[in-house]
Chains A and B, each alone.
Chain A
Amino acid sequence: QKEVEQNSGPLSVPEGAIASLNCTYSDRGSQSFFWYRQYSGKSPELIMSIYSNGDKEDGRFTAQLNKASQYVSLLIRDSQPSDSATYLCAVALGVKTIFGAGTRLFVKA
């Protein structure tokens, strides 16, 4: 079992819709949780971090964490074509950060 699991997609949503991206992790000792966005041919960039159970909102992005279920999600409201990218879930355990395989998101204009 991979330590961090994501649906590889692709996930396709129309412009203006809500995109929902999900991630599960296996190590209950995981301390911090992150979402990175990676455009094709580019390096990953951090878009959200969440450290405690519940929701965290930043603009059109909401990260949700449920440690009991070992589940992290990212909601993108009012999706735009510029949101089309691969979204990587990452989990930190101590100094190490482990990534999922990523979910490809396509936002259709």
Chain B
Amino acid sequence: NAGVTQTPKFQVLKTGQSMTLQCAQDMNHNSMYWYRQDPGMGLRLIYYSASEGTTDKGEVPNGYNVSRLNKREFSLRLESAAPSQTSVYFCASSEKGVTGELFFGEGSRLTVL
């Protein structure tokens, strides 16, 4: 049982480059989330998708876009990467009706030079 799978696990970008982080879950969960984690900052919500076909901004959405491709997949795109986006990114999912009980992927470490 894979749970939540994120790719890639590591990525180095140059300022201005674009990339997409992929996330897929096999638990038939309705809600999916993207967080970033920086030292001393905890997890900050970037975007979330309550259900297939909907997306909403979280605490720190600037510089990011998301796509809820289907119930399983939720991608995060950086159109023009900046050094301030250097972080560890976590995708998570939760079952409808149990908001807050999140299952996390292993994380994607992104460095922007």
Residues in A lying within 8 Å of B, measured CB to CB: 4, 6, 8, 31-34, 36, 42-46, 49, 88, 90-92, 94-102
Contact = CB atoms under 8 A, between A and B. Distances in A.
A98 B107 CA distance: 18
Nearest to A51: B100
B2 interface: no
A49 B101 contact: yes
Nearest to B100: A92
A95 B101 contact: no
B52 to A, nearest CB: 13
B34 interface: no
Interface in B74-113: 90, 94, 99-107
A97 B104 contact: no
Given A96-B58, A97-B33, A98-B59, A32 B104 contact: no
Contacts of A4: 42
Main secondary structure of the interface of A (DSSP, over half): strand
Contacts of B45: 96-99
B99 A43 contact: no
B53 interface: no
A99 B99 contact: no
- Interface size classification for chain B: 20 to 34
Given A34-B101, A43-B104, A95 B48 contact: yes
B50 interface: yes
A97 B99 contact: yes
B90 A101 contact: no
23 contacts: A31-B99, A32-B99, A36-B102, A43-B90, A43-B106, A43-B107, A44-B43, A44-B104, A49-B100, A90-B100, A90-B102, A94-B99, A95-B31, A95-B48, A95-B50, A96-B45, A96-B58, A97-B100, A99-B43, A100-B42, A101-B40, A101-B41, A101-B42
B36 to A, nearest CB: 11
Nearest to B38: A101
Among all A-B residue pairs, the 10 with the closest Cβ atoms: A92-B100, A101-B42, A43-B104, A99-B43, A95-B50, A32-B100, A92-B99, A97-B100, A99-B42, A102-B42
